[in-house]
Amino acid sequence: MASDAVLTVTEMRAAEAAAVSQGTSEWELMQRAGEGAADYVWRIAAGRGVTVLCGPGNNGGDGYVIAEVLRARGLDVAVVAPVEPGTETATTARKNHQGAVQTSVAGLAKPVMVDCLFGYGLSRPLEGAFNQVFAEATASHPYRIAVDVPSGVASDSGELLGEVPRCDLTLALGAWKQAHFLMPSLAVMGEKRLVPIGLDLPEDSARLAPLPALSPPAANSHKYTRGLLAIVAGAMPGAAMLAAQAALRSGAGYVKLMSEHSHPDAPAELVIEGGDLAKSLDDERIAALLIGPGLGRDNGARDRLCAVFDTRVPCVLDADALHLLDPDLLEGCDAARLLVTPHEGELAKLCEAFGIEEEGKLDRARALHESTGLAVLAKGPDTILMAAEGLRFFPRGSSWLSVAGTGDVLAGIAAARLAAHGDPALAAEEAVHLQHEAAAIAGPGLTAGQLAHAVQPAMERFL
């Protein structure tokens, strides 16, 4: 059992079917899920009343188990089920529940509501009595808990299949689902907790990106063995400077900014190098490159990007470089050494350039990687990584990151980590976690400059 696995609907059904084929009954799995979820509800309710909404499927069956556990512990529990159970296991759960069941929420306004109307696998909006019960219950119960996923959420895409009010807590049963880490569903889930039920989960499934496992430099390290990072600036030097500020604090041994501009406010430890770019790049000590922030999109910018590709050094491509990248530029390159870090608009531009017609962040990132071999870090309120190692999801970062320049900071962190070890996917994973930690340190109202300076104390948290 792997607590970091993130499953599709098909994978989850297969994992449950495998458990049943190996001798664990569906009823036993439901009891494990319901009892585990009930423990969370019990602690949150703290003696207060609870209303449990039960649908006709096995998610509703989980609700009956939850209600019976709470009732047996002496809690005031009301169960609302618009229709009778429609599966054998849910029917067993209903019969096992010793309390009353009503068909509407009329007169109910308890402190806590538990949503077990529909779990993973839903493909259409709530209708009729289900929609009415859900709307009335969410309006009359101040604290709301969703079991598995909130009713009205598409588990694989994170799409909202109608109006889905925000809940305070989501309890994932058995394994994480993709919707737990994708927008827009991520925004309505509140806190999230995993309830294991003893499934053997597939080793080749998507995963949560692991936390960084950083280590101090070796005793015999020097600036070049720790990694020389070269950042190629362009028309607008401020963005490249932000990236450099972050890179200086992210573990690279040496950061050099290749720029034709004057930088009077540059920190003393940042080396500024002008002149012929090709000559500057002809340095075998360079371990990684970053190009894109503030680069521009004219022919001169394209020439600078071509010069970077000619080095065949591991590279992070961000911002303007993503608007210039196309099949002609990528031809002959070792895409496995490249990391692209697009936001939603840049991802759409890349897909247009490479003839990719998929819709949605997840499908676009997967198709772009499969078409090009690039490691794709699709960033935003929900961030995913698609690389040769597979699909990786990340917990949601601070919403205060929604300010200009934070993408440049992320690119600088990723490039510094790439210089340190040369692995694009690992650099992406480390960069996202470091940025999230830095945002927590910088606090509300952060600026990109404050975020860049907070990367160094963020590094300490992962040593």
168 and 125, same structural domain? Answer: yes
92 and 140, same structural domain? Answer: yes
Q: Tell me what pLDDT residue 287 has.
A: 98
Model confidence pLDDT, tens digit, residues 352-381: 999 999 999 999 999 999 999 999 999 999
Q: Which of 67, 70, 77, 65 is nearest to 32 (CA)?
A: 65
233 and 127, same structural domain? Answer: no
Query: Quick check: is 216 in a domain?
Result: no
Element (H, E) at 207: strand 206-208
Is residue 61 marked as binding?
yes
Is residue 343 marked as binding?
yes
Q: DSSP per residue over 213-257, as a string?
A: ---PPPTT--TTTT-EEEEE--S-HHHHHHHHHHHHTTT-SEEEE
Structure tokens at 147: 């079991």
Could you tell me how far CA 346 lies from the centroid of its own chain? 18
Is residue 382 marked as binding?
yes
Is residue 110 marked as binding?
no
Query: Quick check: is 214 in a domain?
Result: no
Residue 231: strand pairing partners: 257, 290
Mean pLDDT value across residues 166-195? 97
Q: Tell me what pLDDT residue 262 has.
A: 85
Cβ-count burial 55-82 (b if 16+ within 10 Å, e if not): bbbbbbbbbbbbbbbbbeeebebbbbbb
Q: If 0-12 CB within 10 Å is exposed, 13-18 middle and 19+ buried, where does residue 408 land?
A: buried
Residues 439 and 401: their CA atoms lie apart, in Å, by 7
Is residue 239 marked as binding?
yes
Question: End of a domain among 178, 208, 238?
Answer: 208
Confidence of residue 1 (pLDDT cuts 50, 70, 90): very low
Model confidence pLDDT, tens digit, residues 131-161: 999 999 999 999 999 999 999 999 999 999 9
With contact defined as beta carbons under 8 Å apart, do 128 and 162 qualify? Answer: no
Model confidence pLDDT, tens digit, residues 17-52: 999 999 999 999 999 999 999 999 999 999 999 999
Half-sphere exposure of 170 (CA within 13 A, CB side): 28
Is residue 148 marked as binding?
yes
Is residue 279 marked as binding?
no
Is residue 294 marked as binding?
yes
Model confidence pLDDT, tens digit, residues 102-113: 999 988 889 999
Sole residue written with tokens 């470089």 = 321
Is residue 296 marked as binding?
no
Query: Quick check: is 217 in a domain?
Result: no
Is residue 60 marked as binding?
yes
Q: Which of 190, 245, 354 is nearest to 364 (CA)?
A: 354
Confidence of residue 232 (pLDDT cuts 50, 70, 90): very high
Question: End of a domain among 208, 241, 275?
Answer: 208
Q: DSSP per residue over 145-165, as a string?
A: EEESS-TTB-TTT--B-S--P
Query: Quick check: is 371 in a domain?
Result: yes
Q: DSSP per residue over 342-387, as a string?
A: --HHHHHHHHHHTT----SHHHHHHHHHHHH--EEEE-SSS-EEEE
328 and 439, same structural domain? Answer: yes
Confidence of residue 264 (pLDDT cuts 50, 70, 90): confident
130 and 29, same structural domain? Answer: yes
173 and 255, same structural domain? Answer: no
Is residue 18 marked as binding?
no
CATH number for the domain harbouring residue 16:
3.40.50.10260
Is residue 89 marked as binding?
no
DSSP structural state of residue 401: G
> Which range marks the domain in which residue 282 is found?
228-461
Is residue 268 marked as binding?
no
Is residue 91 marked as binding?
no
The residue type of 244 is A
Total count of domains within the chain: 2
335 and 265, same structural domain? Answer: yes
Model confidence pLDDT, tens digit, residues 378-435: 999 999 999 999 999 999 999 999 999 999 999 999 999 999 999 999 999 999 999 9
Is residue 247 marked as binding?
no
Is residue 361 marked as binding?
no
CATH number for the domain harbouring residue 242:
3.40.1190.20
Model confidence pLDDT, tens digit, residues 302-337: 999 999 999 999 999 999 999 999 999 999 899 999
Is residue 379 marked as binding?
yes
Is residue 248 marked as binding?
no
Question: End of a domain among 144, 178, 208?
Answer: 208
Is residue 438 marked as binding?
no
233 and 161, same structural domain? Answer: no
